[in-house]
Chains A and B, each alone.
Chain A
Amino acid sequence: MSAPALIGTSGDSLREAFGKALAQLADEFPKLVVLDADIAGGTGAHHFRKSHPDRFIQFGIAEQNMMAAAGGLAATGLIPVVTTFAVFCLRAIEQARLSIAYSGRNAKIVASHPGIDVGPDGGSAQSLEDMAAFRAIPGMTVISPADPIETALATRAILVFDGPVYMRTGRSPTRRVFGDDHTFEIGKGRIVREGNDATIVACGVEVARALEAATLLAEENISARVVNMATIKPIDSELLARCAKETGCIVTAEDHNIFGGLGGAVAEALAKTRPCPMEFVGLKDVFGASGEPEELAEAFGISAPHIAEAVKRVLARKGKRK
């Protein structure tokens, strides 16, 4: 699958990459309609509003109605993409549950502003629970792409996919992780850096930090593998089992509460296939705060050095097991 021509440049945010991809994909998907709750400037949907105003539906600041209405729009054969902030998806999660997932609707929920990557807006706006909550809805696919190129590819993939999807984008300018030849497939994790001592499994903005952590560890002669697990559900159990077998220990990294998100999904998978020592990098069951994203990553323990420290901890445990 090739990337749509118009993608985020280096340093573009995931939300902007999503919005640009949406506008680019509109002609390929004539049934696509985009739903907004007065926040299109923030979610990236403003690109679609400008390019396809007739297929852009304004709901005002009323996310519950928007979410359930997406179920009705989907029932008429359209492909509705609900756009809002991740915290407001939590506000309307019961509508996503009943009127989208339980009703079996082909609707997509794309959430910007997840995690402490939100930055200065502070703790109230920083969703740390969304992946756990949406992952618990039967039949809901959950995706968190890592960079602008992958976000554009994932945007097309969720429109091709038949079924309900929750996808995270991101607020802050994001480092390019992948080249123009990157591909994306729902449900497939990818090894983005080889290594033998430990595996770091990351998603979203933590993939770039995991790669940075692997570089830091290499300076100490620790060979860390990095896996981009862009699909949290269904999780790529095969790849996880292989990494557990080949490296013997796992560290997960996510901009989310340590409970129930990527770390939980990885632990659940490995408990059934190949249990191994694990460490979890994420928000330690606390809410975020105001600050710049990199400051917050440092303050709340999800920066590259924190991931590197977690790898050393898990290596120590792996050593004891031998």
Chain B
Amino acid sequence: MSEKQAKLEDALPLAPVPDLEAELSAAARAARRHVIAAIYRAGSGHPGGALSCADILTCLYGAELNLWPDQASDPMRDRFVLSKGHAAPALYAVGAQYGFCGKRDALSLRKLDSKFQGHPHVRDLPWVETSTGSLGQGFSVALGLAMGLKIQNVPARVYTLLGDGELQEGEVWEAAMCAAHHKLDNLCAIVDYNKLQSDDKNDMIMRLEPLAAKFRAFDWAVAEIDGHAIAEILSGLRRAAATHGRPSILIAHTVKGKGVPYMENKPAWHGSVKLTREQAEEALSALGTARKEIQELLAQEQTT
């Protein structure tokens, strides 16, 4: 059992330890600030969907995953795949909080010669496990990882985060059928269900509901959680890890642009946008960032 898991197990079944929750909340807030700064400095990037999944990613890297930066190539490690690859700024920001990459390095998002491409690339950053950015594929790769670990009797677990719009890809349902057929109980998918996609609300583009029923019909263990409530995310992940004979999915209800009021629930902030200095400052202020830190985060000369 990992230290992280042991820490959690001690607190279960009542509730995760409050100081861990506070620690994760603080890390998620720091990651959101990093996301805003990186997208501002890059001049492009998808803020909405990065902010909506910051709490989920923080819980994974900060508590759930049996994964440490100095053991990032250990065959026994847990794996995480960001299937919604456009949320790369959030992955980099959370990775930086937990030592998988340098915080200043990760601010070089989307720049030539940066390892932090617009979508994660495993040959630049081995800890991202696979390259993503074409929706649906990360889910299948996670399935392949889960199969490969089972075949080789490695007890590690595989987690993957999907966007809600991503569920419109046919490949997702191929993988959903396949994971259940092969009883991949070492696989846990999480849906960042912020209800918005590139051009509009999911409901206006292509309806997803009844979503939980769809996955139940595919024979997955399904739970719906508040994707911004740290305790709920942690207990959802624990329940998934305790599931046998079936893959698990957490449908995490989230708010697109979470933490930045002017972005919340606005599809306009889904796509790749260019933030003005004023917008970046306002977002960072809303995230409780001190004046001095705002200046440091947004200073362009720090990029190298």
Contact surface of A with B, Cβ cutoff 8 Å = 33, 55, 57, 59-60, 62, 64-65, 67-78, 80, 94-95, 98-99, 102-104
**Contact A65 to B178, CB < 8 A, known contacts A75-B144, A102-B121, A103-B123:** yes
Cross-chain contact of B178 among A62, A80, A102 (Cβ < 8 A): A62
A98 contacts B134, C-beta separation under 8 Å = yes
Is B129 an interface residue when CB atoms closer than 8 A count as contact?
yes
Q: Cα distance A68–B170 when bound, in Å?
A: 13
**Are B152 and A60 touching (Cβ within 8 A)?**
no
Across the interface, which residues of A come within 8 angstroms of B58, CB to CB? none
Q: Is chain A's interface secondary structure helix, strand, loop, or mixed overall?
A: helix
Out of B131, B145, B174, B177, which one reaches A76, CB within 8 Å? Answer: B145
Asked if B210 lies at the interface with its beta carbon under 8 angstroms from chain A, I say no
- The answer for the CA separation of A65 and B175 in the assembled complex, in Å, is 6
How many pairs, one residue from A and one from B, have CB atoms within 8 Å of each other in the complex?
A: 108
The answer to whether B174 and A75 touch across the interface, beta carbons within 8 angstroms, is no
Bitwise, B178-202 to A at CB < 8 A (1) or not (0) is 1001100000000000000000000
B123, B140, B148, B154: which contacts A99 (Cβ < 8 A)? B140
B151 contacts the other chain (CB 8 A): yes
* Given contact pairs A76-B145, A78-B152, A95-B137, a sample of 20 additional A-B residue pairs in the complex whose CB atoms are under 8 Å apart: A62-B171, A64-B174, A65-B175, A67-B140, A69-B144, A71-B130, A71-B144, A72-B141, A72-B144, A73-B145, A75-B144, A76-B144, A76-B152, A77-B152, A80-B144, A98-B132, A98-B133, A98-B137, A99-B141, A104-B122
CA distance A57 to B149 in the complex (A): 14
Of A68, A71, A95, the most chain B CB neighbours within 10 A belong to A68
A137 to B201, CA, bound (A): 35
B75 contacts partner chain A, Cβ-Cβ < 8 Å = yes
Q: Is the CB of B144 within 8 A of A68?
A: yes
Chain B residues within an 8 Å CB radius of A59: 174, 178
Which among A65, A67, A99 is the interface contact of B130 at CB below 8 angstroms? Answer: A99
CB pair A73 B144 closer than 8 Å = yes
Query: How long is the Cα–Cα vector from A33 to B170 in the complex, in angstroms?
Result: 25
Q: How far apart sit A15 and B152, CA to CA, in the bound complex (Å)?
A: 28
Is B174 in contact with A72, judged by CB distance below 8 angstroms?
no
A64 and B129 CA atoms in complex are apart in Å by: 19
Q: List 30 A-B contacts (CB under 8 A).
A: A57-B147, A60-B174, A60-B178, A60-B181, A64-B140, A64-B170, A65-B143, A65-B171, A65-B175, A68-B137, A69-B143, A69-B147, A71-B140, A71-B141, A72-B130, A72-B141, A73-B147, A75-B130, A75-B148, A76-B148, A76-B149, A77-B152, A78-B148, A78-B151, A98-B131, A98-B137, A99-B130, A99-B131, A99-B141, A102-B121
Query: In the assembled complex, how far is the CB of residue A95 from the closest CB belonging to chain B, in whole angstroms?
Result: 6
Tell me, yes or no, whether B227 is within 8 Å of chain A by CB.
no
